[in-house]
Amino acid sequence: MHKQHTDDQINGLDAWRRVWREGIALSLSTPGICALRQALVTNDPRLVQGYTAWPVANAEGSAPPAAACPLGLAGWLGDGLETTDEIEEAFARTCLEADTRLGEPAVCRFFIGWVDEAPLETIRAELLPEIDRELTRRGVPI
């Protein structure tokens, strides 16, 4: 077996989990993480896979969001972002910050790919404890 990290693990942790813990979670606001937690707990249909925000901006410009990915939803429902363009910009900024923090270009792909490909039940079961871990680290009661 080769030692180079794969899509499955980085330094012994699931790659998506390491990117969440050491990159993405540190870039999200506490209200954003709480909004994401609530969406996962309640199985909120506004939480989607495969899109950063829905509807996708078109030639006529941005629109108010109807749904978003976990990172987009955190900004939308937690931080009050009002348009799909604002969500897209916040998503890009969060990913860039995670990549910079972890010292690897596009390392956020491990988290994003996992979110887009894993069944929602798996995401809920595995991401909720990570969210709770981060909120506990911040001193937020769960």
Say how many domains are in the chain: 1
Domain containing residue 75: 16-136
Residue 8, pLDDT score:
57
**For residues 132 and 142, is the Cβ–Cβ distance under 8 A?**
yes
Report pLDDT digits (tens) over 46-100: 999 999 999 987 767 789 999 999 999 999 999 999 999 999 999 999 999 999 9
Assess if residue 64 is contained within a domain.
yes
Assess if residue 86 is contained within a domain.
yes
**For residues 66 and 46, is the Cβ–Cβ distance under 8 A?**
yes
**For residues 54 and 65, is the Cβ–Cβ distance under 8 A?**
yes
Contacts of residues 89-92 at CB distance under 8 Å and 24 or more positions apart, as own/partner, are 91/52, 91/53
What average pLDDT does range 94-117 have in this prediction?
97
Assess if residue 3 is contained within a domain.
no
**For residues 70 and 80, is the Cβ–Cβ distance under 8 A?**
no
Assess if residue 104 is contained within a domain.
yes
- DSSP 8-state code for residue 2: -
Residue 130, pLDDT score:
98
Residue 6, pLDDT score:
46
Q: Which helix (H) or strand (E) holds 96?
A: helix 84-102
Assess if residue 1 is contained within a domain.
no
Assess if residue 90 is contained within a domain.
yes
Q: Three-state DSSP class for 62?
A: coil
Assess if residue 70 is contained within a domain.
yes
- DSSP 8-state code for residue 29: -
Report pLDDT digits (tens) over 8-61: 555 557 999 999 999 999 999 999 999 999 999 999 999 999 999 999 877 677
Residue 41, pLDDT score:
98
Q: Which helix (H) or strand (E) holds 14?
A: strand 13-14
Assess if residue 46 is contained within a domain.
yes
Residue 42 — φ and ψ, nearest 5°? -95, 0
What average pLDDT does range 99-105 have in this prediction?
97
In angstroms, what CA-CA distances link 57 with 41, 83, 86, 124? 28, 9, 11, 28
